[in-house]
Amino acid sequence: MRLKRARVTNYRSIVDTGWFDVEHAKTIMVGPNEAGKTAVLQALQQINPPPEVPKFDALRDYPRSKYNDITTKVVDPKSVTVTEVEFELDDEDRAAIPESMRKAVYVFGRRLDNSAWHSLRGEVPAAPTYGSVTKDLARLSAYIDPRAETATPGGPAPSAGLSTIIDGWTTTTTIEGERASTLKAWLDKALPLIDERNETEEKRYDSLLAATAIHFDRAAALAALDDRIPIFVLFNNYFRVKPLVQLDHLAQRLETNILDDKQYDYGNVCLLKLLGFTARELSNLGRAAEPPAGNEVALKTYRDQLDQRQYQLNAASVKLTQEIRSVWHPREGRAEADKLHIRADGQYLKVVVEDDLGVEIELHQRSEGFQWLVSFFVVFFAEAAGKHQNAILLLDEPGMSLHGLKQREFRSTITRLSSANQTLYTTHSPFLVGPDELDLVRVVEMTDRKQGTQVHTTVTSGDPAALLPLQEALGYDLAQTLFTQERNLVLEGLTDYWYVEATSALMRAAGGVHLNDKVALIMAASAGKVVYYATILYAQNFKVAALLDSDAAGDQAAQQETLVHMLGNKGILRTKDAYSGAVIKPEIEDLLRDTLVKIANDALSVDVTAAAAAQPARPIVDLLEAAGGGFSKYKLAKAYVRWTRDHSSSDLTAGEQAQFTTLIEKINKALK
């Protein structure tokens, strides 16, 4: 199952984040210091944390400004939901639950007292009410009473037992829980009293039994899904693996439960968990004396223990080395990347790194960035504990000690991890937000302490500092592309970029016409700014073309003398050049009109299906804006990008495919 949405309330700086969407693979959370990003991750982990992770503590975790409500018993921790999430079921989840519940959305919550609740929402049968079965129960009871008297003269009448069960029920009472169980038990006793040749009463019995079955199907589904909840692994910069561990001292601290050392030792405890030993077991092995010669049984046991220790240390070393090498590529001129070795020597457990010369040095003598990577993979593999395919990663400021270029490499590692393990991470770094990942960003801000931390699914914020990483990421990417790519297409804005890039990717995947890989897409922020970007690129002797909508703003930009002089008529592309519909001044959205109508309805709950059919000459954006509901072009474009991840170009209409084929051919020709 995958996390679909989440909400955190009444936790530290958080009053209510509001519901925010979680991406299928990777979700990026950005925001200024003290906005509450770490608090969001810590609260999410409590949905299903690894063993021994501290639980919610009302004294420490309930918002301090409201804590008096706890002490005065105005608020009961048992009634305060801190974290609530929705899970989307995959094929394996659906196969594990009753068929009637397979279209459900699974909802799970964790309260302040660490108790949990769960429910199923969406397309699931509702629990029937007593009012919906009253007549059938009365008629079945009247039918079997005389038959019961014949079978057991003087015995209790079934109707008397039914009256006891339904005592206090009203027409709105739902048949679930204990009520469903007791009613089913009564029906089980009634079954032998029904003549199987009586089709009317047989159908009545089946109908009543089906009414109770909804509860049992729901209960079975919830029990199965509870067992399948992913484990939430949180990693922050404090969980470092120490390069030299004194095993006896560590064992004593853990055995005496010294609270002050728990965080200090967390990384090394995970290392031991990964190795499959406790600190005491390794410490005892370090003290064990070799048995005297002649005692073959004791000698074999001793050798087996040492070999097992060595083999497990070696296996862990190989696994960690492979992961580190996937990110930490060797510098130019070096034959290979470094190797990691975990060694046990008496009472000491050491983590050493072997360079390409064969020289071994302790981990702490390597860079902070390298130490961070080692620690991350140790904690991940240990806490996931064999559940790597069913773990959700929560990374707090990952890779901050890595060089900017190493962060960009690590970004691809996070992408790789997120293909199997849904990942949420916080960052201030522009290098950990790709220019094509803005739709994955959630902005975290706290502009008012009373309102608390807010999480925005859309890229919006009242605090400019919250958007700084995104601006820096776009600025860095723009600086990299402006003067490196020979062919450049200048677009009016971000949404145009998404439509062109995403649709080209769909067509490329299907083997159709797609953008030349050497063409860089440049976002100008508005039609009026296209000329500025084109001027800069043209001055560098690069090939430049501009794509403009065929609306008023596009017309005005296309008629600027400077732009016409630089690019010529062939270099100024208009959406109407590829459009074949009835709209007189089409925008890029009109090239995908039919598909966007469906996406707006499904993803944004804005239904203009009838209006679009009735007004084919009206631009689709105008229709959507007129429908209200807080529509924005940004939300629509973002929803389209999401849609393309689960669809192919064949899901576009034939007209849309033809229009984008024409557009891309014109772009490639203009920048040939």
- 470-523: pLDDT as tens digits: 666 655 565 555 556 788 898 888 899 999 999 999 999 999 899 998 898 888
Using DSSP, state whether 655 is helix, strand or coil: helix
Averaged pLDDT score across all residues of the chain: 85
Half-sphere exposure of 437 (CA within 13 A, CB side): 24
Residue 4 confidence (pLDDT): 94
Those residues with Cβ within 8 angstroms of residue 218's Cβ, 6 or more apart along the chain or in another chain: 101, 120, 124, 127, 176
Using DSSP, state whether 255 is helix, strand or coil: helix
Task: Phi first, then psi: give them for residue 463, nearest 5 degrees.
Answer: -115, 110
| Confidence class for position 275, pLDDT limits 50, 70, 90 | confident
Token pair 């034939």 is at which residue? Answer: 654
| Confidence class for position 260, pLDDT limits 50, 70, 90 | very low
Determine the Cα–Cα distance for residues 481 and 479; give it in Å rounded to an integer: 6
| Confidence class for position 610, pLDDT limits 50, 70, 90 | very high
pTM to 2 decimal places: 0.65
- Of residues 556 and 573, more confidence is placed in 573
Would you kindly state where each structural domain of the chain is located, as residue ranges? 1-125+387-464, 130-217, 238-383, 483-670
Half-sphere exposure of 32 (CA within 13 A, CB side): 11
CA distances from 663 to 530, 548, 641, 650 (A): 18, 12, 18, 17
Residue 232 and residue 45 in contact, taking contact as beta carbons nearer than 8 Å: yes
Q: pLDDT digit string (tens) for 126-147?
A: 899 999 999 999 999 999 999 9
Using DSSP, state whether 172 is helix, strand or coil: coil
Q: pLDDT digit string (tens) for 441-469?
A: 888 888 888 888 889 876 655 555 555 56
Q: pLDDT digit string (tens) for 85-106?
A: 999 999 999 999 999 999 999 9
Determine the Cα–Cα distance for residues 640 and 503; give it in Å rounded to an integer: 9
- Of residues 629 and 142, more confidence is placed in 142
Residue 328 confidence (pLDDT): 60
Token pair 């046990």 is at which residue? Answer: 344
The sign of the torsion formed by the CA atoms of 401, 406, 411, 416 equals negative
- Top mean-pLDDT range of 284-288, 414-418, 451-455: 451-455
pLDDT-above-90 percentage for the chain: 43
Indicate the CATH number for domain 1-125+387-464.
3.40.50.300
Token pair 């108790």 is at which residue? Answer: 115
Question: What DSSP string runs through 87-121?
Answer: EE--HHHHHTS-GGGTTEEEEEEEETTS-EEEEEE
The answer on pLDDT for 383 being more than 90 is no
Those residues with Cβ within 8 angstroms of residue 133's Cβ, 6 or more apart along the chain or in another chain: 175, 207, 208, 211
The answer on pLDDT for 334 being more than 50 is no
Half-sphere exposure of 40 (CA within 13 A, CB side): 36
Residue 78 confidence (pLDDT): 94
Determine the Cα–Cα distance for residues 427 and 398; give it in Å rounded to an integer: 7
The answer on pLDDT for 372 being more than 70 is yes
CA distances from 84 to 26, 81, 110, 164 (A): 19, 7, 7, 38
- Of residues 439 and 90, more confidence is placed in 90
- Of residues 177 and 259, more confidence is placed in 177
Mean pLDDT check: name the lowest of 160-164, 218-222, 519-523, 607-611: 519-523
The partner residues of 245 in beta bridges, in order of sequence, read 349
| Helix, strand, coil fractions of the chain, as percent rounded to 5 | 50, 15, 30
Residue 332 confidence (pLDDT): 46
Determine the Cα–Cα distance for residues 672 and 604; give it in Å rounded to an integer: 39
- Top mean-pLDDT range of 278-292, 348-362, 587-601: 587-601
